[in-house]
Amino acid sequence: MEKRPWTAEDLRFMRDNVNTLDNSELSRILGRTEAAIKNAICWYDMQRDHVVVVYMRANSQSGEKSVHWKGGPTARKIRRRPSCREYTRVYRMAYPERELAHRVIRDSKRKGNIKEQPCEICGTIVNIDAHHSDYSKMLDVRWLCRSCHIHLHQRLEINQSV
C-alpha cells in the first residue's frame, strides 16, 4: 500500500463533500483507502455534521470486525492516533442522549430483542441505520439505509429552519 500525499485539490474536495459523501464513497472517488480518508478527516480536522458522524461511528464499530480494519500499517496507525478517539469522546459528551440511544439499540440487537429491518424507504438490506425520531423513546426506531437516512435528516433540517 503506497502512501500518496494529500494535494490541496483533494483536501478541498474532501472539505466540500465530507457532509454529503460517506467514507467509502470518498475513498472510491479519490482512489484512496477508507483508512486514509478517516485519517485525513481526523488529521485535517474537517467538520462533519452530527448525522454524518453517527455514520462514521457506526462504521468504526462494525469496522473492528471488518477486513478493512485488519488492513495494513495505516489502519494500525489510525487506531493509535489520539485525535480520532478525541473526536469520538467529544461527540459522546456533546450528545449524551444520542450516545445512550445508540448504545441501547446496539445492545438490544446483540441480545436479539430487536432485529434490524430492511430500509423502509428503498427496501435495501445493506448499511442499515436505526433512526430515532425522539431520543427519549430509545427503542422506537425507524430502519433506514444510510443514504435514505442522510436524505431524511437533510429534509428534517430544512423543515426545522423554516
Residues that bind Zn ion (CB under 5 A): 119, 121-122, 131, 145, 148
- Work out how close the CB of 88 gets to Zn ion at its nearest, in angstroms, rounded to a whole number: 18
Q: Pick the closer one to Zn ion by CB: 1 or 122.
A: 122
Q: Pick the closer one to Zn ion by CB: 19 or 74.
A: 19
Q: Pick the closer one to Zn ion by CB: 65 or 115.
A: 115
Q: Pick the closer one to Zn ion by CB: 48 or 131.
A: 131
Give the chain as a DSSP string: -PPPPPPHHHHHHHHHHTTTS-HHHHHHHHT--HHHHHHHHHHTT----HHHHHHHHHHHHHHTTSHHHH-SHHHHHHHH-HHHHHHHHHHHHH-HHHHHHHHHHHHHHHHTSS-----TTT---SSEEEEES-TTSTT-EEEEEHHHHHHHHHHHHHHHH-
- Work out how close the CB of 134 gets to Zn ion at its nearest, in angstroms, rounded to a whole number: 11
- Work out how close the CB of 71 gets to Zn ion at its nearest, in angstroms, rounded to a whole number: 28
- Work out how close the CB of 155 gets to Zn ion at its nearest, in angstroms, rounded to a whole number: 11
